[in-house]
Each structure stands twice: as structure tokens, then as C-alpha cells.
Structure 1
Amino acid sequence: MPQEVEGSPSNQSAGGGRSETSYAQGFDTGYRAGSTAGAEEELASQLPAYTVLPEVSARDVLAAGLQGFLPRLKPLLRPDEVHHRIARALAEGSPLSLVRLGDGELLALAHDTVLPLEYARSAGYFLAEAGMTLPDPAARSLLAEAVRGADIIGIPSSRLPTYQGLLFPVLRYYGMDYVPMNLTLSTINYALYEHGFLLSLLQHKRVLVVGNLAAELAAVLSACSVQIAGVITPVKGFADIPRVVSDAAAYSFDIALVASGIPAVVICQKIAAEQGRIAIDFGHLADKLVSGEFKWPVP
């Protein structure tokens, strides 16, 4: 399943350099080797002085130790469960917002709160392209309230510092208890597509498409028996949210697909809460469908 990382630069292969695949493979190999070495060194630091632990790996110790923490596992909604909840909301005509938190959203929430501004700026060098320029406390507050009010929240599987390493400190800072939250993976948009659930939800429904690629995505969806109720484009950052939400209210639709970077979280939650509709944070899945990298069978 793809790992959606907002704003991460792609590697270039022009000029005789290494290919993007080669870079990716090299990074993956290096990351795994570094992770293994770091885990082994951490284990060594925990052993009593003048002892060794023969023929036992850090992975073995982790597996044995994890058993004691299994009661603390937080279940995440699987793709079939998310599909069921959306289908039920469509059948009942009830509102539902599905939003997703990646490194961009978490850095936006963390700047000048959990993290110093300059650190967030450095780690979130791509945030302006994702719809938010730091510092922006007003946008940060809007984003926090949207997360608080969302029905289903996608979270990253990665435990790296700007992913789960930020998620739980951010939730704690804003006083959000994750235990009762309906959580799924932040790549749920891809999972719904890959399992065939997304097209079944959209076909023969009135769909509002929102984002900078909305017109192109609408054309792809139309070819798959999806009725396009309207197109709202472009979305120019957080300042554009009131206009987008107001424009959405003028359309009659069953479900909205929103691909507009970080503002999508707020737009989806507002469409659901204020207009009683279903709204899905569609993300870079829009790009992949428009480019043809991902395809749906045409009836």
C-alpha cells in the first residue's frame, strides 16, 4: 500500500544520475540496516555491565516484551469497516467526515505548540505547497477543531518522529482522548481503492469533487458511471476554506471528494458537520487517478 507523504520531493534520474527506483531501494536498504543497528545498540545499552546476551536478537527481545503491552493496543478500522460505515451513512442520509493526518497535518498542529516554530519550519519545508505557511495560529486552531469533530481519522502507521512520534503528543496537547476515536490508517484512501470499495461507493451517486485537479478527476469518475454533481476548483490554502464550503452548499450531492492538501481536513469536517453530507479526504489518490497510474475498469 502506498505511504502518502505530502510534499516529499521525488528523485531525478536525468543527467546520468541514479534512477528514482535505485534511490528508493538504496534508501530502504540503508534505513533497514540503520534501524537494525540502532535497535541492537539500544539493547546492548540496557544489559547489566559485564554481560552479553548470546544468540538473541533485538527483534527476539522486542517480540517477547511486546506480549506485555498487547492489552494497550488500539484497534484501527479496517478498509471493510470504513466502507461499511460510509455505505451506511449513504443509505441513511447521515453526515460523515473521513479525514487523514500525515506529517504535514501533524507538523501544522505542532508548530509553536508541541514543537518550536523553527523546527517545524525545517521539518515541514513542504507545508506551503500543502496549503499552509508557518506560523499560522488561526489555521492551526481550525485544523485542531476539525480533527476534534471528525468522524473517522486516518493516522500514520510509521512511528518516525514526524509521524506517530508527533501524533500522540499533539493529541495530548489539544486535550483529545484517542481511546474513543474512530481511527484508521492515513492511507485508507488507497486501501478503499485497492479493495474495490471506493468505486462501489461512488457509482450511481451524486459526487462533488473539490481541489486543484477537480475537473480532471471528475472526468475520470464520469467514465466510471459516477454522476458528477459539481466541481469546485481551485482551493488556495486556508484562506479559501470559507469560499469552498459556501460553494459546496449550493450543490445537491451525496458525497464529496476533497483533494486540497492540509485544508482538506477542515473542508471535509465542515461539509459533514454544517451541511449534513459525507466528505472524504481524497489526497494524492486524485493525482494517481488523473495521471493514469491507478485505473478503474470502464463499464
Structure 2
Amino acid sequence: MAKLLKKRKFLSHKKVLSLIKRRMRTKRPLSLVRVGDGENIVLAQQGVWPIRKVLRTKWAKKSRRSNKKGVSLPNMRLRNQMIRALRRASIVGIPHRKERQIKAKRIFLRPLTEKNFRKYKIKPRHVCHTFINRHLPEKKEFWDMLKGKRVILISKWAKQFRRYVKNNYPKHRIRIIPISFSNYNQINRILKRVKPIKADIVLVSTGVNALVLVDQLARTQRRVAIDFGKAPMLILKRDKRVRPWKPRK
């Protein structure tokens, strides 16, 4: 499996956008999920690493001390849900073999992704870089894709991001429907709340929980659902790691 993953060609931003637009146009479901250090650590629980090794990581310690990770480890149910989500995903974002964009230690990145995928027999249909969520907003084509569309945004930053979009892209007439989210225990409630809402696409910014939400939204509600990661937060904070395209005034 590791060798197979190494041979996979990453989809370009343009190709990912093309696939998303096609599914939006034809009203067919699509799930784009991503794997970074946090997802790898959750996946590694018991199957790849002993629980005690997982719990020694800074990520796991923070998950137990605060709500910043949106889940507290150990959580085998989340691990199993993530495995199923990755097996079913339309597109999976993964780290580069020689990763330079992610600050986490290499042991938590591509090497662990390959171990996890091999252990759980995860064979993605398509792969792209895990930071596709940060690069898409930098493209004019992304914002044009959302022009005149109804967009559900599931995130604790949802309301602030709606204001940002309204102020910076007024001619695009993008309607953001904000849904607040903070932790794993809210997943079923959020899915029920979203179900009656009509939308063209769902952007999910909920940490490692995004894999579960994106999978369920695509599979049970037949939606185009994208793991949008920290993009809303970084854009709102004017973080240099994301430089969103903006129309000329």
C-alpha cells in the first residue's frame, strides 16, 4: 500500500476545482477529506500505535486538556468512522513525502499516513495535497465557482466568515448559511440541523471531525462536501499562510 501511495499523482488545484464544479452542476455527491498530523494520530490509535504512545503526543495531550481539538482521545469510534470516510472519499488530501508546508514533525505526516492507509486498507480514488483547503481560496476560480450559490459553512468561525465574504465579494452574491460547531458530540445534531437546508455545497471546518461530517453529508444527504480546514480562521486573521484572491475594487 505504501508503494502504491507513493506512485499516486496529486491532482492539481485546477483539476480538483473541475471535479467539484462538475458535481455541483450535476447535483451528484462528492466528498473531499484531508489527512494531516491530527488525523494521522487519531487513525493510529491501537491499530498502528499503542494507545499509550498516541496519548504521549502533544496533540493527544491537548485534546484531553482543552476543547481545541474538538475531541478527546482515546476515541476508537471516531477512528473507525474516519477509516470508513477515507475508504469512501471521492478525493483525499495527504501530505507530500517531503513535506515543507506543515509545521508538525515528519513522524506524524506522510510516513504515518502510509502506515495508517496500509493497516486499514485505504486506497483513495484520487489524492491531492492536504492543504488544498488553503490553496483553493487563493484562486479566482474558487470564488467564481461560488458565485450566486448557497453555501453551508460548518465552523465556529462561520458567522464571522459570512460577514467577511459579504464585505469582500459583494458582486459574487454568495449566500453563506452559518452553522456553529465545537466538538465531536455535536455531529449527529449538526447533521439533523443541516438536512432540510437547501445548498449547492457544504464547507466543513471542524478539525478531525470533518472527515465524519463530510462523509455523512455526501453519503446520506447526497451533497458536495469539502473539508475546508482552518481556511476561514486563517483568512479572518489575515494569516500569511492563506492569501485569498479578491476582486479589484
Q: Which of the five TM-score ranges fits, normalised by the shorter chain?
A: 0.7 to 0.9
* Matched-pair contact (CA < 8 Å) for 2:138–2:245: no
Cα offset, 1:296, TM superposition: 4.2
TM-score (normalizing by structure 1): 0.71
Q: Secondary structure at the match of 1:161?
A: helix
Cα separation, partners in 2 of 1:75 and 1:102, compared to 1, 3 Å: same
Alignment equivalent of 2:183, drawn from 231, 237, 250:
237
The number of aligned residues is 227
- Give CA deviations for 1:203-262 in whole Å, capped at 9, x if unaligned: 2111011111111111112231343252111x2322111111111112110011111111
Which residue of structure 2 aligns with residue 10 of structure 1? none
Which residue of structure 2 aligns with residue 190 of structure 1? 134
Matches of 2:95 and 2:154 in 1, distance apart?
A: 23
Matches of 2:166 and 2:195 in 1, distance apart?
A: 21
Alignment equivalent of 1:203, drawn from 139, 147, 167:
147
Alignment equivalent of 1:113, drawn from 47, 69, 83:
47
Matches of 1:163 and 1:127 in 2, distance apart?
A: 18
Matches of 2:185 and 2:38 in 1, distance apart?
A: 17
Matches of 2:111 and 2:146 in 1, distance apart?
A: 34
Give 1 or 2 for the bigger CA radius of gyration. 1
Report 1:18-29 matches (<5 A).
Answer: none
Alignment equivalent of 2:88, drawn from 139, 143, 149:
149
TM-score (normalizing by structure 2): 0.84
Aligned AA (1:211): S
- Give CA deviations for 1:84-142 in whole Å, capped at 9, x if unaligned: 10111111111111111100001001011101112212222344522221111111111
1:218 aligns with 2:162: yes
Query: Relative contact order (C-alpha < 8 Å, sep 6+): which is higher?
Result: 2
What is the identity percentage for the equivalent residue pairs of Structure 1 and Structure 2?
Answer: 27
Q: Secondary structure at the match of 1:168?
A: helix
* Matched-pair contact (CA < 8 Å) for 2:218–2:225: yes
- Long gaps (5+) in structure 2: 99-105
Matches of 1:117 and 1:150 in 2, distance apart?
A: 26
Which residue of structure 2 aligns with residue 93 of structure 1? 27
Aligned AA (1:244): I
Matches of 1:97 and 1:80 in 2, distance apart?
A: 17
Q: CA RMSD in A?
A: 2.0
Matches of 1:168 and 1:244 in 2, distance apart?
A: 31
